[in-house]
Structure 1
C-alpha cells in the first residue's frame, strides 16, 4: 500500500507536514506532491518577512534541506481551484492537506478606513517582498505616516518605512522596491498600540532593530510609562517583557533632534477613525487615550486626540482566504477542523480525506515551532485514518503532470526553483549583492523553465 498525498501550499506549514509524514512511523509507503500557487516555494518566509531580516535565512535553509532530499515533488505556479480542483485531487490522491496560510489583512471597522491613503500591512509587505501578484509600484508620498498595531508585522513595516533605502542594498530587496523607497519623502512614522508597553506583542529582537536604524530618532513619550501594578508585575515576572521595558527605558534617555527621520511609539491609543481632508484622502488619525484597568487591559479616558498623517497602515492581523470546494469559516478566516481533520461546515462531521495545518488551520498566530507541532497533530490523524482515505482512480505519479500539461498549466518543479534561486544569486553577484529577487511572475516562470539566459552583467534574455 502506498499513500499518495497532495499538500496545497508550499510554505513552512506544508513542507513541515511533508517532512513529518516521511519520518513518521507507519506501515505503508508515501508519495507526496506539493502544490503551490506561486512559482517559488517557502510562502510567507519568502513573501511575508522584511528583506532586512537575515536570520530568516536559517529557516529557508532548513526548508531547502527538506526539499532537496528529493523525496517530495513540487508543482509550482499551480492555482488550486483553477488549475486543479478538489475533485481532481480525489482522482489522483488518497488525501489532501491544505496549508495555504493567511495572506489577507484582517478588517478594521473604524470610520474612514476606506479613504485614499489607508492600507493593509499585508498588501505593503507583499509589495516590498516582491510578490508577483501585486502592483509593482506603491504610493509612498506621505511625510507623516501612522501604523496601527503592536506586533512584529507593525514593527516590520514601520522599520521599512523609516529606514533609508540605501541601507537595504545589503539585502535581496527588489529593484522596484528600492527605487520606490528611495523616493519616499517620509519624515515621521507613528506606531500606535491600544495597550501599554508591558502588553506589546512584538519580540525584543524586533524592537532592538528599530533602535539601530541609521539617521532615525526613536521617540517615546513619558506619559506612557506610569505603570500600574499589572504592568509592573509583567516586567518583573516575564523576561521578554523585562527586556522590552529595558530597551524602551534606554530610548527615553536618548538625545533626539539630529536625525532626518523620526519613529514614534505611542501607547494607550484606541483607534476611532481616519479624518477626510475633503477630497477623500487621509489627513489625520483620531484616537482615544486609554489607561490601564489594573488587570492588564485598558479603559477609555474620554480624551480624544488627532495626529496629522497622509497615510495609514493597519497591522491588526492576517486573515485566511477561502478555497474552492473546501469548507471555510468566514468569521475566523480558517478552514473548520478538529485537530487538523476538516469538518463539514453545516454538520460539523469529519470530511474524509481532507486535512489542514498551519495558519489556515488555527489562525495567524504562533511562530515556526507552533507550525511544527501543528503539523504533527494533523499527520498523526492522517496516518490513523487509513480506512477513511479516498480511493483514487488514477493514483500513478505520472498522471498529475500529464493532467497539468493537458490543461496548458506551465508548472514549475524543484529543478526549476533551483534555476530561479541560482539566477537571483547571479543577479545579486553582478551588483555586489547577495541576491536580487525576481518579481514578475512571467520572468520567474521563464527562468524556472530554462527559457532565460543570463549575461555577466545580470541582464536576461528569453529564449524562443
Structure 2
C-alpha cells in the first residue's frame, strides 16, 4: 500500500487525492488529507461569499472524494514549525503533497497602510465566512464610507457584502455576529478603485453584474475614466470575458444617476479607474479618514504612468485587495520572487534536483492564478508525476499507523466523523436562531462539536 499525505483540503488538495485514488495503474494507494482547520474544503468554505450558493455547492463534489474509502480526512493537524514537521511526515508517508495555497495578502507598500481601520480584504472575508482565525472583535462597520482598493472578484465580493441588506444575508450560513454587524452597518458609500482601466480589471462579468442587481443600491461609473482606456473605445479586439465587462460598465456609465428618494436606505457603489494609491491618511488613534490616490494614464505598453495629479477619497474603512502571495513552508525551498515552491511538473526541486517523495499542487505550485477549476489539471499533473515515481517511493519503510504516529507528535486529529459532528452542530445552531445552517466561528466551539463523537479513534 502506497501511503500519501496531502497537506490542505481545498480544491487542489482534494483534486490531487481524487486523481490518486481513481486511477487504476497503481491500485494500492491510500491518501490522508491533512488540514490545519477541523473543517475541510479550504477557500470553498472560507473564501467563497456566503450568498454564492452555486459555487459553495462545490463542497458536495469535494465531499464525495473525501468520503472515498481510501481517502481519510484529518483536520486540526498543523504542519510546520508549530506542529508536525516534514521530516516526521516522511517517516509516516511514502509521499507528501503540499497544497497549501497562498496564505498572505500582497501589500500596497504605501504610508499609512497599517493604520487602524485599514485591513486586508481577506480579513474581512474571513470574518464574514466564520474562519476561526478571524479577529474576535470583528468589524463594527461604523464607517459611512468604505474604500476597497482593487478590482478583482474578492474586491467585488466585499463591496457587495457591504451593500447587501440583512434580509438577504440571513438566508445564508453567515455567522450570527457578522450578520448582526452588517445589519447595523452605517456604510452608505463603497468606493472600488483600480490603478488601471476597465480592460485590465480582474473581476468576472457575472460578479460585476451582481453589483447592479443589489436592491436599494446605485452603481456609479464615470464615463471620462472609462474613456481613458484605449480598449474601451473599441473593445472588439478584447477577449470575450473582458469585452463583456466593458459592455456592462458602458451601460452603467450611460444611465442617468437615480435620485435617492423612494429607494429606502440608498447605498452607492462607485467604480473608479486609473487611480493609484499613494497614502492612507489618518492617525494611529482615530484611524483612517481617506486614501490619497494619484491619477494615472495608459503608458502605451500595457501599464500606467503617474500624472502628478492627486485625489483624496474619504473612507473610515479601507479594505486592500491587491492579490495573494504564498509563504515559505518549513523544510521546502521557496522562490521569494514568485511566492512559490520550485518544482518540475509538481516534483519539488531542491538545489535543482527532485526532492524524493515531496510534491506541490495549487497556488503554492503555480502562484495565485486561475479559478477553482484551474486546480484540477494542476493537481492531475502533480498526481501523474507521483504515480510515475510510485515504484521507487513504495520501497521506503513508513509507520504502520499514520494516525497513531501523528498523535505521538502531539497532534489531536479531527477525523471525518468529527467534521460531520460540526456540520450537525451548525445545523442545530441555525435552527435555534430561526435560520438555516449557521457556521460556528470559534475554535473552541468547533473542536467541542468535533470531539463530542470522538471516543478513541
Normalised by the length of structure 2, the TM-score is 0.92
1:379 to 368, 372, 383: 383
Q: Following superposition of structure 1 onto structure 2, how do residues 207-226 of structure 1 map, counting pairs within 5 Å?
A: 207-226=208-227
How far apart, CA to CA, are the structure 2 residues paired with 1:378 and 1:67? 19
Q: 2:72 aligns to what SS in structure 1?
A: strand
How far apart, CA to CA, are the structure 2 residues paired with 1:290 and 1:227? 10
Q: Which residue matches 2:451? A: 449
Q: 1:55 aligns to what SS in structure 2?
A: helix
Which of 427-436 and 111-120 deviates more?
427-436
1:415 to 414, 417, 425: 417
Which of 403-412 and 418-427 deviates more?
403-412
The Cα offsets for residues 267-321 of structure 1, whole Å up to 9 and x where unpaired, read as 1111111123484622221111122334543322221111222121110011222
Q: Following superposition of structure 1 onto structure 2, how do residues 127-146 of structure 1 map, counting pairs within 5 Å?
A: 127-139=127-139, 140-146=141-147
The Cα offsets for residues 189-217 of structure 1, whole Å up to 9 and x where unpaired, read as 10100111222110011001111112221
User: Would the aligned equivalents of 1:90 and 1:391 in 2 still touch at CA under 8 Å?
Assistant: no
Unaligned runs of 5+ in 1: 453-464
Q: 2:87 aligns to what SS in structure 1?
A: helix
User: Would the aligned equivalents of 1:4 and 1:395 in 2 still touch at CA under 8 Å?
Assistant: no
How far apart, CA to CA, are the structure 2 residues paired with 1:103 and 1:159? 23
Q: 1:355 aligns to what SS in structure 2?
A: strand
Unaligned runs of 5+ in 2: none
User: Would the aligned equivalents of 1:196 and 1:267 in 2 still touch at CA under 8 Å?
Assistant: yes
Instruction: Report the alpha carbon displacement of residue 390 of structure 1 after superposing the two structures with TM.
Output: 7.1
Which of 276-285 and 328-337 deviates more?
276-285
How far apart, CA to CA, are the structure 1 residues paired with 2:420 and 2:373? 26
Q: Which residue matches 2:20? A: 21
Q: Which residue matches 1:333? A: 339
How far apart, CA to CA, are the structure 2 residues paired with 1:406 and 1:237? 57
The Cα offsets for residues 220-273 of structure 1, whole Å up to 9 and x where unpaired, read as 112123255434444554322232223222322043231522111001111111
1:305 to 291, 311, 326: 311
Aligned alpha-carbon RMSD (Å): 2.1
Runs of 4+ in 1 over 6 A off after TM superposition: none
Instruction: Report the alpha carbon displacement of residue 387 of structure 1 after superposing the two structures with TM.
Output: 5.3
Q: 1:184 aligns to what SS in structure 2?
A: coil
Q: Which residue matches 1:64? A: 63
User: Would the aligned equivalents of 1:235 and 1:245 in 2 still touch at CA under 8 Å?
Assistant: no
User: Cα 1:79–1:233, aligned 2, differ >3 Å: closer, same or farther?
Assistant: same
How far apart, CA to CA, are the structure 1 residues paired with 2:303 and 2:293? 17
Q: 1:127 aligns to what SS in structure 2?
A: helix
Instruction: Report the alpha carbon displacement of residue 183 of structure 1 after superposing the two structures with TM.
Output: 2.5
How far apart, CA to CA, are the structure 2 residues paired with 1:395 and 1:28? 20
Corresponding pairs, count: 447
